[in-house]
Amino acid sequence: MARVAGRNVAISWIAGVLCAGVVAALLWLSMPMMPVMVSFVGDALRSTLP
């Protein structure tokens, strides 16, 4: 990424780590829904394939 005048490297690292933490937390919270989604996709594929 190009260096932009006025951008603080430390703040951008902190923001990047916080964003990665939010994404990880959302993935963690969505884990209980995974078996339901796998079942839904499997049923949809079985019903559309001959």
Rounded (10°) CA dihedral 29, 32, 34, 38: -160
At 1 the pLDDT is: 56
How many whole angstroms separate alpha carbon 27 and alpha carbon 33? 10
Q: How confident is the model at residue 3 (pLDDT cuts 50, 70, 90)?
A: low
The radius of gyration computed from the CA coordinates of the chain, to the nearest angstrom, equals 20
pLDDT given for residue 2 in this prediction: 60
pLDDT digits (tens, 9 = 90+) for 20-40: 999 999 999 999 999 999 999
